[in-house]
Structure 1
Amino acid sequence: MAKMWVRGAVLALVCAASAPAFAAPSPEWTGKVRQLLASKQDYPRAAQVRGDEGTAKLKIDVAADGSLAGVALVQPTGSATLDKEALAVARKVGAFPPPPGGAASVVVPLTWKMM
């Protein structure tokens, strides 16, 4: 029983050491990230023609220098076209403002709605 606990503790330490550490982002920084994303967000013509709408949630990892460290779709829209655009938006921004306190991760909603 003790061997199993030690093995689990060692495995947890190895996993924690290999995962990048992200600070909790400040509301001001998160607001800037949202503004940058909104400025690059497009409504793909194919999605408009089909009447696709939805909200995607993106998890964006930003390195301490402001570069995009990773992006993942944590909640899809239901439209493959909009989901592809959601992932592309973060890459279109390129560089983000450096997060205060070092690398940060934030989940941001992106919405497409027909007017």
Structure 2
Amino acid sequence: MTTLFSKITLGLAGALLVASPAMAQAPEWTKQVTRMFASKQTYPSTAQMRGEEGTAKVKVFIGADGSVEKAELVAGTGSASLDKEALSVPSKVGRVPAPPAGATTLTVPMTWKLA
């Protein structure tokens, strides 16, 4: 079996918190949730073969109980398969720890880069 690439970099380049001021005091929660999303992010094989790279920004709506209620693409990558993957990540996670200040949203950048 031949490897088509030597290294793939996947990443959530730090979540941008878009919430109440109380949430600004919960950086550990934000880091934990960001890591949960990163653990479910994959590089679609079609995007790999086409050499597609980019960063998508996904706004994730999180209920007071930690349920992931919905996700919206705020900024696309220019690749349909990467954008589709970006929107699927929150549903793969499904539930996160309850936000410290109740229901909130996170805007999460997701990056795909072939190295």
Where do 1:36-115 residues align within 5 Å? 36-115=36-115
State the match for 1:4 in structure 2.
none
Gaps of 5+ in 1: 1-21
Tell which structure's C-alpha radius of gyration is larger: 1
CA distances 1:57-108 after superposition (whole Å, capped 9, x unpaired): 0111100000012211101001000000000011100111100011011111
Aligned residue identity for 1:48: Q
TM-score (norm 2): 0.78
The runs of at least 4 consecutive aligned structure 1 residues that moved more than 2 Å come to 22-26
Give me the whole-angstrom Cα distance separating, in 1, the residues matched to 2:33 and 2:88. Answer: 15
Q: Which amino acid aligns with 1:75?
A: A
Q: Using CA pairs below 8 Å that are at least 6 residues apart, which structure has the higher relative contact order?
A: 2
Deviations 1:26-74 (A, max 9, x none): 2211111110011000000000000000000011110000001221110
Number of equivalent positions? 94
Relative to structure 2, which stretch is displaced further, 101-110 or 25-34?
25-34
Which has the larger helix fraction?
A: 1
Q: Whose strand fraction is larger, Structure 1's or Structure 2's?
A: 2
Q: How does 1:6-25 map to 2 (within 5 A)?
A: 23-24=20-21, 25=23
Aligned counterpart, 2:34: 34
Corresponding residue of 2:11:
none
Identity of aligned pairs, percent? 54
